[in-house]
Amino acid sequence: MERIAELVLPPDERRYIIKRLDVIGDIAIIKLHPAIEHKKHEIGKALLKMQPYVKVVLRQVGPTSGQYRVRKLEWIAGEKRTWTIVREYGCSFKVDLQHVFYTPRLSYEHMRIAKLVRPGEVIINMFAGVGAFSIIIAKHAHPKCVYSIDINPVAYELMRENVRLNRVEDKVIPICDDAAHAIISRGLIHIADRVLMPLPSLALLYLPYAILSLRRSGGYIHTYLHVFTPRNKDAEDIAMEAVERSLDSLQIEYKILGARKVRSVGVRKLQIVVDVWCRGTQDDLPLPFLNNGKSNAYSY
């Protein structure tokens, strides 16, 4: 981006260039300082020339937000599309960045979880998106099956396409539903050996449903949180304490196995995953927000 700034911007504006960009498949997503927005198309065209593998340049004009947690994007250069094909660990995923959330910075985490899966496990992915976690697990581990749930209908259709594309129809079961409702209504209670919760904004709220889906003998939950970090405390400790408070309130047996930084998502804001083993519930848990079989948890 510094080289692009030298080519496109006058010297007094070059300091405004934002160096980092996300490249997803053949699409580059950039952020621009308001002072250089008038040069957005020139910056986009220069990026296309300097990075021949990039075919589309989009500008992020708002944070990840809304019911489906997507970024607000604006086309500035290249082919006029927001879909692309992403490849990870021998798997291919079709994504539409205007309608679904996807980040390549979860790539390491996708494989880390796959390596933890034991042969024959039943897995529930409560917030599956286009199916990256689910499909990589199915391709690189030996689960019995992965229930892959997402409430976003566009993500669900892309997930179904990706399941076929990667030939894991015998392992991955796509479900279009709210995760809490799916666990209750589709008989996914006391069946799971491992539960993934990769939606930080809802992970703690949905934790009782994750526990309800675990086998009574127990299983693993991977809870992803966004954590603001004061200077005198580790983000991993803050995340583990938050999960501990939630589990203590449910009065179940558990053991925190560890936590790790997944990625940076803002100034002093990190995404942290907390790995925990939980005993499956023997009694009914208090289940928040599910009224008449429907969830209103996405109305935030």
Q: pLDDT for 202-225, tens place per residue?
A: 999 999 999 999 999 999 999 999
Q: Is residue 232 part of a domain?
A: yes
Do 64 and 186 share a domain, yes or no? no
Tell me, yes or no, whether 73 and 161 share the same domain.
no
One domain for residues 154 and 290 = yes
Segment among 78-87, 96-105, 213-222 with least mean pLDDT: 96-105
> For residue range 158-177, what is the model confidence (pLDDT) as tens digits?
999 999 999 999 999 999 99
Which pTM was predicted? 0.90
In a domain, 54, yes or no: yes
pLDDT band at residue 300 under the 50/70/90 scheme: very low
Between vectors from CA 224 to CA 220 and to CA 230, what angle results, nearest 5°? 130
Residue 86 lies in a domain: no
Residue 156 lies in a domain: yes
- What is the pLDDT, as a whole number, of residue 295? 59
Q: Identify whether residues 58 and 141 lie together within a single domain.
A: no
Q: Do 174 and 254 belong to one domain?
A: yes
- The reply to whether 90 falls in a domain is no
pLDDT at residue 6, rounded to an integer? 81
Residue 60: Cβ within 10 Å count: 17
Concatenated DSSP letters for the chain?
A: -HHHHHHHS-GGGGGG-----EEETTEEEE---GGGGGGHHHHHHHHHHH-TT--EEEEEEEEEETTTTEEEEEEEEESS--EEEEEETTEEEEEETTTS---GGGHHHHHHHHHHPPTT-EEEETT-TTSHHHHHHHHHS--SEEEEEES-HHHHHHHHHHHHHTT-TTTEEEEES-HHHHHHHTT-SS-BSEEEE--TTTHHHHHHHHHHHB-TT-EEEEEEEEEE--TTS-HHHHHHHHHHHHHHHHT--EEEEEEEEEEEEETTEEEEEEEEEEPPPSSPPP--SEETTEE-TT--
Residue 267: what pLDDT?
83
Cα–Cα nearest to 224, from 208, 245, 251, 206: 206
Contact status, residue 136 vs residue 110, Cβ threshold 8 Å: yes
Short-list 53, 35, 51, 42, CA closest to 7: 42
* Within-domain flag for 95: no
Task: Tell me what the mean pLDDT of segment 62-70 comes to.
Answer: 74
128 lies in the same domain as 173: yes
138 CB-contact burial (10 Å; exposed 0-12 / middle 13-18 / buried 19+):
buried
Same domain, 170 and 248: yes
77: in domain? yes
Residue 234 is part of a domain; what is its CATH number?
A: 3.40.50.150
The larger pLDDT score, comparing residue 291 to residue 65, is at 65
Nearest residue to 122 via CA among 55, 219, 36: 219
Backbone angles phi, psi at 42, to 5 degrees: -65, -40
The answer to the question of residue 91 being in a domain is no
* Domain end position, chosen among 48, 81, 114: 81
Residues 76 and 35 in one domain: yes
CA 126 from chain centre, in angstroms, equals: 11
Q: How many CB atoms lie within 10 A of CB 21?
A: 17
What distance in Å separates the CA atoms of residue 123 and residue 192, rounded to the nearest whole number? 5
Q: How far apart are CA 134 and CA 147, in angstroms?
A: 8
Domain residues for 18? 2-81
Task: Give me the amino acid identity at 28.
Answer: A
Please tell me the total count of domains within the chain.
2
Q: Which of 14, 49, 81 is the last residue of a domain?
A: 81
* pLDDT reported for residue 1: 74
Average pLDDT, the chain: 91
pLDDT at 299 over 50: no
Given 51, 81, 111, the domain boundary residue is: 81
User: Looking at the structure, do residues 47 and 165 belong to the same domain, yes or no?
Assistant: no
Residues 136, 278 within the same domain: yes
Pair (190, 133) in one structural domain? yes
The verdict on 105 and 73 lying in the same domain is: no
Count of positions (residues) in the chain:
300
pLDDT value at residue 3: 80
- At residue 293, does pLDDT exceed 60? no
Q: Assess contact for 82 and 98: CB atoms under 8 A.
A: yes
Rounded Cα distance between 86 and 147, Å, is 22
**Angle value at C-alpha 185, between 183 and 186, nearest 5 degrees:** 70
